[in-house]
Amino acid sequence: MEFLATSLLELITQTSTNLPPDVRAAMSLAAGAETPGTQSSQALDIILSNIDMAVDDEGPICQDTGMPTFIIHTPVGVNQIRIRKAILDAVAEATRLGKLRPNSVDSITGKNSGNNLGEETPVFHFEQWEEDEIEIKLILKGGGCENKNIQYSVPCNLEHLGRADRNLEGVKKCILHAVWQAQGQGCSPGALGVCIGSDRAHGYELAKQQLFRTLDDVNPNPVLAKLESEIMDEANKLGVGAMGFGGKASLIGCKIGAANRLPASFFVSVAYDCWAFRRLGVRLDAATGAITRWLYRDPARKVERMARGEGFALTGREVILTPPLTEAQMRALKVGDVVLINGDMFMGRDNVHSYLMKNPPPVDLNGAVLYHCGPVMLKDASGRWTVKAAGPTTSIREEPYEADVIKRYGVRAVIGKGGMGAKTLAAMKEFGAVYLNAIGGAAQYYARTVEEVPGVYLLEFGIPEAMWHLRVKGFAAIVTMDAHGNSLHADVEKTTGEALEALQKA
């Protein structure tokens, strides 16, 4: 097995940095269908450029490299313990090289292990089979989309759709509801893996397994094939759009499987994956561990370029913001404005927000820009921190804290993705602050805007949760919640809810 370690590291690296061709094709179709010049189209421009940048730099497509989940098939007689150990080593090495973000957090102590290893991480599914080779498939699915997974126990009542019964019509309502409830928080356009039936725990597992199908395949079951096609058609009429900005590109795939269920239970389990749909696989020689063939990609084929232009096309109407920001500057902004930030910002997400409820900030946040982001960071040879991936995280998790942070410490701009709720919107109106939506998953694009990392605070929380001080240039984002009580997110949620109701009546 002299090549096993190299093969596994290559599998992880390619999965994290090089989106598979079927996902690229689906994203090209989605981008082509979007109305040019809209916010959704602008978001897609950044996403497409980001996909190219990740390949060029062999950097993570998105900073959240998720819970590495391996599906392994081995011939009878192959030592699975040895393979498990080799995968653990490869995961730790990929983390050290910045291909994976350290994502394994002890649920009792809150401590990040730093190398992606820990209790039940990564996730393994071993199976034996009667073929001669070893097959290893890997999916990296981040927290933003993982949090939008949803399970329905039918019959149930669904917002905007009414009762979902124990039949295919009820299943369809659940799946459409799953797309609607995700809005932009799972970095739409997304893809769904669905399991109809099974029990609660296994249903979720089977839903995730559907994500190992290629996006362009056709379900061999004609009933499910029809359902998949109907969902694709109807979901893309809801108007969620890229990043939930409103638009035509809401879903790039829907893959549905069915499993037998108990007479008393009827679950519909939905695994929501984001546009950064990272899954690949390899076949390995069982004697040497060398890669004999890739799954989902052909390494001999040139990787197609995705960018349609220069990425984010500047119009000259962008508002330049140079922190510290003033109340008057924030009150002059309105929903839909595009801003370019030049200067200092501070990262802070779950642990930092919780910390700020009981402790003063380690830096002066008056007039500051607070970025919801858990980056991939590495130290260079001279000991300086460098940003390897730095897209926004889902902001709604900070909803219980953000109003207080704005009020107590004078934060003027919050950057994240997916928007925030009514409490934060009210605080922004009262104190003069805005929410800026950066493009989710565009980790390479945003990493390139960072000119310097002047410092880091609260590093004891681990790399993704520390308070990083960044100096950026040309950091682009869209105002989606302003200081006048307007929220694009609330508007899109309302109009897409109405679209769901209209579909129901049609």
Binding residues for ligand SF4, per CB under 6 A? Answer: 62, 64, 142-145, 186-187, 274, 276, 391, 440-441
Q: Which residues contact 90 (CB under 8 A, 6 or more apart)?
A: 5, 8, 9, 11, 12
Cα–Cα distance measured from residue 485 to residue 430, given in angstroms and rounded to the nearest whole number: 9
Smallest separation (angstroms) from ligand SF4 to the CB of 498: 26
Smallest distance from the beta carbon of 274 to ligand SF4, in angstroms? 3
Q: Select 140 or 321, whichever has its Cβ closest to ligand SF4.
A: 140
C-beta closer to ligand SF4: residue 102 or 142: 142
Place of tokens 């909803």: 399
> What distance in Å separates the CA atoms of residue 404 and residue 353, rounded to the nearest whole number?
10
H helices present in 118-192, as ranges: 143-146, 168-182
* Structure token pair of residue 99: 């291909």
Q: Using H for helix, E for strand and C for coil, what is the string for 66-84?
A: CCCEEEEEEECCCCHHHHH
Check if the beta carbon of residue 176 is closer than 8 Å to that of residue 500.
Answer: yes
Q: Which amino acid is at 405?
A: V
The Cα 86–Cα 80 span in angstroms is: 10
Nearest distance in Å: CB 68, ligand SF4:
12
Question: Of 145 and 174, which CB lies nearer to ligand SF4 in the complex structure?
Answer: 145
Q: CB nearest ligand SF4: which residue?
A: 142
- Contact criterion met (CB below 8 Å) for 69 and 208: yes
Q: How far is the CB of 183 from ligand SF4 (least distance, A)?
A: 12
Q: Annotate 452-505 with DSSP letters as a single string.
A: EEEEEE-GGG-GGGSEEEEEEEEEEEEEEE-TTS-BHHHHHHHHHHHHHHHHHH
- Measured torsion, CA atoms of residues 292, 297, 300, 301, in degrees rounded to the nearest 10: 170
3-state secondary structure 210-259: HHHCCCCCCCCCHHHHHHHHHHHHHHCCCCECHHHCCECCCEEEEEEEEE
**Smaller CB separation from ligand SF4, 148 or 412:** 148
Least distance (Å) from ligand SF4 to the CB of residue 59?
13
Complex with ligand SF4: residue 73 or 278, whichever CB lies closer = 278
Please list, in sequence order, all residues whose beta carbon lies within 8 angstroms of the beta carbon of residue 384, skipping any fewer than 6 positions away.
453
**Min dist. Cβ of residue 7 to ligand SF4 (A):** 25
Taking the complex as a whole, the smallest distance from the CB of residue 194 to ligand SF4 amounts, in Å, to: 18
Measured from the CB atom, the residue of 43 and 425 that comes closer to ligand SF4 is 43
CB of 275 to ligand SF4, least distance (A): 6
Nearest residue (CB) to ligand SF4, 170 versus 186: 186
Distance CA 161, CA 267 (A): 17
- The least distance separating ligand SF4 from the CB of residue 271, rounded to whole angstroms, comes to 12
Which of 112/198 has CB closer to ligand SF4? 112
Between residues 274 and 403, which has the closer beta carbon with respect to ligand SF4?
274
Beta strands at 413-416 and 369-371: parallel, antiparallel or unpaired = parallel
